[in-house]
Amino acid sequence: MQDQLNIKNARRLLVLLAAALICSLPQLGNGEPLQKSTPAEMVDALNGVFGKQTTGRAVHAEGIVVEGSFTPDPAASALSKAPHLQKSKVKVTGRFSNFAGLLVVPDTDPLASPRGLALKFHLPDGSDTDLVTHSFNGFPAATADEFRAFLTALGTSGSGTAAPTPADKYLAAHPLAKNFLATQPGPPVSFGTISYFGVNAFKFTNAAGTTTFARYRIEPVKGERFLSKGEIAAASPDYLQEELRQRLPGNPLRFNFVAQIAEHGDRLDDPSIAWPDSRKRVQLGMIEFDSVATDSMAREQALLFLPMALPSGIEAADPMLKARHDAYPVSFARRHQ
């Protein structure tokens, strides 16, 4: 009997290994795209968790728009020929947000985490390049289809669902997704006292044609700080936006913009796996936010961040970026119907 179990486990392991190998390829052998989910289905899955959209985003619905600048570090141009990584300072529009696809969620609620920071760098030629990050070093799924399955499991596991729920089953089989839900950092003192991670990998090319693969990190200059238990209990529902409005202008938020360099063996196509902190880092420059947009609510509606709006010198290395890029306009269109 034990031998039969070992054979069964070995077969299961081989199947899992084969699946992992297939998922690392951008296309199936017959040329069919690996991703099966359509952009609309991805947004539908988010709506299944948080409710049908009316005027807000499918996820990270509650946010605030800020303005500022990015000053590149001299080391940045050695990594990429992208225009905002050269010598000149460029303007930046940012959007801080809470995670849930709900327009009102208390800042201390677990549904508020991970926090989001989306960036739009305004380039010298009048075009923009965007970056979408969140405050957790990792993602709940390796691929877009797996992320949809994760959302579907959550969306079909309401309070009246018999145990084990679809979410219970999914999380039992996907420890990284369970870890994503269980190990989020606590409420920060400010949107400016927590780090943000671009969990998808990019390919950087400099003027000499040298290529490097890396992920972004955005780290507060003054370090991370989080609320104590007592401060959490006393915090107002919108304390993060209130803190920003009181702080800016006069006391800017400053972040180090960093590239974490991939080494041999690091997965470029799996954002659920964090790269070791020991990886080389390149200082790209400093992001500084000095004002809240006076028309923040109107800007909220108008802003669309596209992860593959990229300049020459930066390319997507993770297939999930294409899936995210295609889903965001669907969400944008639905909130403008």
- Tell me the CATH number at 152: 2.40.180.10
**Token representation of residue 74:** 């001299």
Q: Could you tell me which residues are beta bridge partners of residue 130? A: 120
Q: Could you tell me which residues are beta bridge partners of residue 261? A: 214
Task: Provide the number of structural domains found in the chain.
Answer: 2
Whether 325 sits among the annotated catalytic residues: the reply is no
Return the amino acid letter for 140: P
Owning domain of residue 6: 1-34
The answer to whether residues 13 and 49 belong to one domain is: no
The whole-number average pLDDT for the span 319-325 is 89
The answer to whether residues 142 and 49 belong to one domain is: yes
Q: Which of 63, 67, 49 is nearest to 98 (CA)?
A: 63
| 286 backbone dihedrals φ, ψ, rounded to 5° | -125, 130
Strand pairing category for 281-292 and 128-134: unpaired
The answer to whether residues 12 and 129 belong to one domain is: no
Model confidence over 269-295: pLDDT tens digits?
999 999 999 999 999 999 999 999 988
The answer to whether residues 194 and 301 belong to one domain is: yes
Model confidence over 168-184: pLDDT tens digits?
999 999 999 999 989 99
The answer to whether residues 267 and 326 belong to one domain is: yes
Set 60, 84, 174, 325: catalytic member: 60
SS3 136: coil
The answer to whether residues 297 and 327 belong to one domain is: yes
Q: What percent of the chain has pLDDT over 70?
A: 90
Per-residue model confidence (pLDDT) at position 35: 62
Return the amino acid letter for 8: K
Chain mean pLDDT for the chain:
87
**Token representation of residue 258:** 């960093």
Number of other residues whose CB lies within 10 A of the CB of residue 94: 26
Q: How many residues does the chain have?
A: 337
The answer to whether residues 217 and 196 belong to one domain is: yes
The answer to whether residues 110 and 213 belong to one domain is: yes
Per-residue model confidence (pLDDT) at position 22: 31
Dihedral of CA 117/85/252/309: which sign? negative
What pLDDT band is residue 28 in, cutting at 50, 70 and 90? very low
The answer to whether residues 224 and 241 belong to one domain is: yes
Query: Which of 25-29, 58-62, 232-236 ranks highest by mean pLDDT?
Result: 232-236
What pLDDT band is residue 26 in, cutting at 50, 70 and 90? very low
Dihedral of CA 245/251/252/256: which sign? negative
**Token representation of residue 88:** 């000149």
Distances (CA, A) of 290 to 209, 250, 287, 293: 35, 7, 10, 10
Question: Does pLDDT of 15 surpass 80?
Answer: no
Model confidence over 113-125: pLDDT tens digits?
999 999 999 999 9
Distances (CA, A) of 331 to 100, 321, 324: 14, 16, 11
The answer to whether residues 3 and 124 belong to one domain is: no
The answer to whether residues 10 and 104 belong to one domain is: no
Q: What percent of the chain has pLDDT over 90?
A: 64
- pTM score, two decimals? 0.87
The answer to whether residues 14 and 118 belong to one domain is: no
Question: Does pLDDT of 34 surpass 70?
Answer: no
Give the C-alpha separation, 229 to 110, whole Å.
Answer: 14
